[in-house]
Amino acid sequence: MKKTYWKSLWRGIWHNLGRFLAVFGIILISTLLISGLGTLGSTVKASFNQEMIKNKFPDIILKAKVANGFTTEEKNMLLNQPDIDESRMEEIYFYDTTINNTETRIIYRDYQNMKINPINIVEGNLPTSDTEVAVEQLPDNSQRKIGDTFEVTSTIPIIGTKRTTTFTVVGIVHNPMNNSIEKDKSQTTQKDVHDIFYMNSKKAMSYISGDTLFIGPDIYIQLSHDDDIDYFSNDYVNKVVKRKNQLITMLTEKRAAGLTVEESVSYQYLNSTIDKVQTICTIFPAFFIVVAALVSSITIERLINEERGLCACFKTLGYSNHSIRFRYVFFSLLSSLSGAIIGSISGLYGLPSILYPTFKSIVIDFPELQADFNPSGALLGSGIIVLVILIITLVKINKDINETPADSLRPKSPVTGKKILIERIDFFWKPLPFRYKATLRNIFRFKSKTITMNLSVMCSISLVMAGFGLLDLASNWENTSAIMETFKSVASFIIIFAVVLAILVIYNLVNINVSERVREISTLEVLGYKPKEVYTYVFREIIIMGVTGEVLGIPLGVLLLYIITSYLDFGSVSVVTAGTYIYSLLLGFATLIIVCALMIPKIKKINMITSLKTLE
């Protein structure tokens, strides 16, 4: 008995392979996107966090408010702190000025003993004399080249005479703290700093500033941390801000000010960009969950409807309600769980590695990918979809198995014929040909089918439209082209997945619609309808419902875009081009036509005699 029972389970899947694969595919696509995009932000942050740990980023930068910087006594006070030692503290001199109408920052530090945030040599070498400089690498490589010379005229203090010094560029370097393409602001003019020069000594700085008397060093401090420090976590930020305030209080606010790594331009730019992308990667998957759960549930529900007679046969053969119930639970769980597992694993390990390089455009030195295996988003999304499908399956099958076998073996009574609202509009209804009247009656009589079809197509097309709209937002964003390229890449992936999901959804719904109308199609053929007339009769109704869903999907897509722009506080729905609306509608309509064409062979194979048989 058990062997026969399990055979029937697998045979049931084989006989409904199309529906099984449809549910499997819809859930696979949805969970792949949910898990992949859900972990993208954390993967990017984990990669940059590892790079920051490797480069020994400072936690706190203390700035003296008085000439000549901090006293020896103040430095000793810092070194006496339990979380600060000499190996984690370094003095760095810097001065902002304007050279040849270009905002410039000059920096000097002990290059032989760089304890914190060591400079990386890209080309050449560090300066070894007072007339040599190394320049900071710029994102577009527009910095001065090795061998370039430039003159700077400064005023010698007290004497008041002018002094002209010729400097030679001997190296190009990269400062990990200046990794983003966003430029820092000059502390004197608040304009973007373009050039950063690294000098050989404090004396060399005076050749540009004129005097070093008022140039005191900043103190870079790296607190004692565990090895698994997370620079992007709220716990870290709160801890460092609290510690910074304690140190400033100790040194007194009149003499010291402080910054944390969170306040650096590079950190803020990177963190803000990642958070914006992650917000988009959270909102879109939520809609994918709704579509996947809705369409998959409809598929299982229609399958149970079709097999009412089979359930009655099982009941008459002595199978328990539990065994009959398990048949459909098994179908639901196997199709949904297999799709969810494969989709989640593929998304967690595949999508981040594909999308990660899109962030390369916003930084100068791009770190290696550090996989951040965080399955919480995938588990939540998959769990919601599987749970909804399981609940719908149990509710539907419990309703059917409570019927007597005699009732279940009979087809359900057709919906009672009655006038629809449009029939009461004489000037519209009377001129209509019979074929259109029949189509409209079917659409309005079978309200549940119409609503589910419209709702499913509407949600699918809204995702496609929102994806194209996001691409428009990225193209019209009044910001750096680097961020625009990152958003374009993410938007392109969302469009691809939304289109694939829309195709699967439409194919599945059309397939269900045709399968449920086998008797009706056979009746038309018996009445003498030609094949072409049968196809147009069936597909006319499907296309009308599908197009209605597409049209309703456009405002829903606009609403989704509005939510994104409002939440991220950038862009506007008004920048969405007319092409976005047209492409979305044309794509949906083309999919409907292609799917209907693919259904023609299935209609041709319908056996009129078998389909019209009745147990009565």
Of 251, 219, 242, 299, nearest in space to 510 by CA: 299
Is-contact 27 296, C-beta < 8 A? yes
Is-contact 82 246, C-beta < 8 A? no
Has residue 227 got a pLDDT over 70? no
The amino acid at 126: L
Is-contact 57 240, C-beta < 8 A? no
Confidence label for 373 from pLDDT (cuts 50, 70 and 90) = low
pLDDT tens, residue by residue, 28-62: 888 888 888 888 888 888 888 888 888 888 888 88
Has residue 614 got a pLDDT over 60? no
pLDDT tens, residue by residue, 262-300: 888 888 888 888 888 888 888 888 888 888 888 888 888
Enter the pTM of the model.
0.78
Has residue 563 got a pLDDT over 70? yes
Report CA torsion sign: 300, 306, 308, 314: negative
Question: Residue 61: beta bridge partners?
Answer: 220, 259
> What's the burial of 149, exposed, middle or buried (CB within 10 Å: 0-12/13-18/19+)?
exposed
Structure tokens at 487: 């958003």
Has residue 158 got a pLDDT over 60? no
Has residue 125 got a pLDDT over 80? yes
Measuring CA to CA, how many Å separate 309 from each of 19, 511, 615?
A: 19, 21, 10
End-to-end CA distance of the chain: 30
Confidence label for 338 from pLDDT (cuts 50, 70 and 90) = very high
> What's the burial of 577, exposed, middle or buried (CB within 10 Å: 0-12/13-18/19+)?
middle
Q: Determine the average pLDDT of the residues in 225-236.
A: 81
Report the distance separating Cα 507 and Cα 499, nearest Å.
12
Question: What pLDDT was estimated at residue 482?
Answer: 61
- Between 480 and 300, residue with greater pLDDT: 300
Is-contact 356 47, C-beta < 8 A? yes
Q: What angle do CA 89, 90, 95 make, to 5 degrees?
A: 140
pLDDT tens, residue by residue, 518-552: 888 888 888 888 888 888 888 888 888 888 988 99
Has residue 93 got a pLDDT over 80? yes
Where is average pLDDT lowest: 346-350, 400-404, 521-525?
A: 400-404
Is-contact 130 203, C-beta < 8 A? yes
Question: What pLDDT was estimated at residue 159?
Answer: 62
Consecutive H or E run containing 3: helix 2-15
pLDDT tens, residue by residue, 159-212: 656 778 888 999 999 888 888 777 777 777 878 888 888 988 877 777 776 555
- Between 428 and 125, residue with greater pLDDT: 125
3-state class percentages of the chain: helix first, strand second, coil last, to nearest 5: 65, 10, 25
Is-contact 139 122, C-beta < 8 A? no
Has residue 477 got a pLDDT over 80? no
Q: What string of DSSP letters covers 164-222? A: EEEEEEEEEEE-GGG-BSSPPBPTTT-SBP-EEEE-S-HHHHHHHHS-STT-PPEEEE-
Q: What angle do CA 15, 16, 18 make, to 5 degrees?
A: 120
Measuring CA to CA, how many Å separate 57 from each of 175, 242, 267, 370, 593?
A: 11, 18, 11, 18, 58
Question: What pLDDT was estimated at residue 157?
Answer: 60
Q: Determine the average pLDDT of the residues in 367-391.
A: 80
From the CA atom positions of the chain, what is the Rg in Å? 34
The chain-wide mean pLDDT, for the chain, equals 82
Q: Determine the average pLDDT of the residues in 413-434.
A: 76
Report the distance separating Cα 391 and Cα 235, nearest Å.
40
The Cβ-side half-sphere exposure at 511, using a 13 Å CA radius, reads 20
Question: What pLDDT was estimated at residue 480?
Answer: 53
Is-contact 12 327, C-beta < 8 A? yes
Question: What pLDDT was estimated at residue 342?
Answer: 92
- Between 414 and 176, residue with greater pLDDT: 176
Question: What pLDDT was estimated at residue 565?
Answer: 80
Has residue 246 got a pLDDT over 80? yes
